[in-house]
Amino acid sequence: MGIINFLHKSKKTSKDQAYPNTPYQSIGGASTVHLLANRFYDIMEQDPMAKDLLAIHPLPLDRIRRVFTLYLSMWLGGPDDYEKQFGHPRLRARHLPFTVTPALKRQWMYCMRKAMMQTVHDIQLAEQLLSALDQLAEHMINSEER
């Protein structure tokens, strides 16, 4: 996960913590990641701008909220419980059964930007994370606009 190496440089901590010098620790650890993942799905469910994105997700969103929290924790340099439970993320392969268009990617990033800005207080780090997530989301696109 090259992005983690890049982001490690963004904020150093001098404390001896479970995941030192990681974005996971820098944003506040498990509680903030949990809040970020859940806020993302709250926005998706409530904001009309994300209606097409919500439509491709299985309801209720309880399971996907838990899985996304695990994935974000790992992606940010925290616990690797996602990989222990589900194996390597293989995100593109996992998204291939779904039609992911540039419009859906924009809706995903819209929800993530709002959630990130509401939960991560270090704006510079939030912007770095959003930039990395934008690249990741771009890679998920597998279809042109309909």
The amino acid at residue 85 is Q
CB 101 within 8 A of CB 143: yes
Residue 122 corresponds to which amino acid? D
Evaluate whether 36 touches 18 at the Cβ level (below 8 Å).
no
Per-residue pLDDT of the chain (146 residues; tens, 9 = 90+): 445 454 544 444 433 367 889 999 999 999 999 999 999 999 999 999 999 999 999 999 999 999 999 999 999 999 999 999 999 999 888 888 889 999 999 999 999 999 999 999 999 999 999 999 999 999 999 999 75
CATH dotted code for 26-140? 1.10.490.10
Q: Tokens 């299985």 correspond to what residue?
A: 58
Per the document, the length of the chain is 146
Helical (H) or strand (E) element with 82: helix 81-86
